[in-house]
Each structure stands twice: as C-alpha cells, then as structure tokens.
Amino acid sequence: MRTNSALIFKFCLSMPRSLLRGSLLDAIREFPELSLDADFLPRLWAGRKIAYLLDQIRLYGENEELVDTIVSLSKRYGIITPYTSFLVEEESLSADQMAQMLPQAAAAPPSGKQAVAGASSVRSLAEEEAAPPEEETVRTIDDRTFFLKDGVWVESTYADEETVKIVAFSPAYFDLLAMKPELAPFFALGDRLILKVGAVYIEIGPEGAKVLTSEIKEQLE
C-alpha cells in the first residue's frame, strides 16, 4: 500500500553549488541551495512543528520550553494558536477559530492540556500539504510577520519599545521611502504601522515627525 508523504526540513549550506541528493519513491531528488518558488515552505514547516509541539502538550502536559517555542514560531510565521490568540483582534476571528481558543479562557489544570483545542485540530494542522492560510489580521511580507492590533499593523518582533514616530503621508514619510525604497511593500499595509528599520522601530500614524531630520536619518541608518 502506497501513501502520500512529505519531506520538510531546514538546512544551511556554505558552498553555493552544493546539493543534497537522495532517493525517494525510486526517483532521484535534488535540493538546490535557493529556490525562489518555494517561499511557502518555511510556514509549512512551522505549521507542522507547532502541531507536533501542541500534541506533546496535549499528551504529556504543558511546560515552559514547549510553550515558549510555540509562541516564538507563531509570532515568527504568523500562525495563530491557542497560546497566541492575544496577537489578533478577537472580533475578526471566525467561529471556528473562536471555538478553537475557548479552552484558553477556562482555568487550565496543572497539566495544561486544555490549552490545546484537541487532537483533531492539531492533526489537521500537522497534515496540511500547504502552508496554513494567513488570517485577515496577519500578513507576511518578505519573511516578516505583522499582526493587526487596535487598527495598527505591528511587526511580530516588536515588544513595546520606544518608537520613532512619523506622520503618514507627510514629507518625512515620502523622504523615508525615497531613502529606503525597500520599505514600500510594508507601507502598503496601511497608514498605521510599526516596523523595525535599522536598529529602531518606526511608527507610522497620525502623530509624529513631518520632516525627516538628520537626527532621525541617523537613527534609521
């Protein structure tokens, strides 16, 4: 009896022409160092990794290391779990999503098993053959994830640090785009946004600088 199988893994290569070779279902497969048409694979890998970790909690109970890993992967790849429902606006969740997160609202027993919606939902995530679809409140651009919170698109790595505020569509806004045109896809998210530029986070919104001063430019370089 033949069954479908998926091979998902992460690897790093230091030599640009190196290849991994192997036999799968009587055919030779070659894995190049870079594939531009496979940018969905990191989220697919992350979805299955999260499913495995959730299943471990369901079976054996909660521990800090597992929860921290789930939260980290969820934020990194924009995959909502019972442990990261706080990252999205609850009113935008579907009925199925809300049902999935209900156990979190109840007092969890010491084992933490109620933090996991159940074996069926975990199994569904583990058996996905495509990357989990992005929610309306989650966007991934150039391998960076943003969550919509209170009307603001916030980069997943942001943790309430001080921001450099810039007024949306002001001269400073357009000067910044001219200085860093690679920010255009992120600015397209909307007129309220927090993202990392250089070593600082900028906040695009109704308040802030209208002129891109030399001091601000130094912070963003």
Strand partners, 29: 22
- Eight-state DSSP code of residue 82: T
The span from the CA of 130 to the CA of 61, in Å, is: 28
Q: Which helix (H) or strand (E) holds 148?
A: strand 144-149
Q: Are 186 and 143 in contact (CB under 8 A)?
A: no
In order along its 221 residues, the chain shows pLDDT tens digits of 455 555 555 555 544 444 555 665 566 666 555 555 556 677 788 888 888 888 888 888 888 999 889 888 888 887 878 787 666 554 444 444 444 443 443 334 334 544 444 444 555 555 555 544 555 788 888 878 898 888 999 998 898 899 999 999 999 999 999 999 999 999 999 999 999 998 899 999 999 999 999 999 999 98
CA distance linking residue 138 with residue 123, whole number of Å: 22
138-141 and 144-149 beta bridge pairing: antiparallel
Tokens at residue 221, please? 């370089």
**Residue 196: strand, helix, or coil:** strand
3-class secondary structure, 181: helix
In the β-sheet with 200-205, what is the strand arrangement from edge to edge? Answer: 138-141, 144-149, 152-155, 193-197, 200-205, 163-167
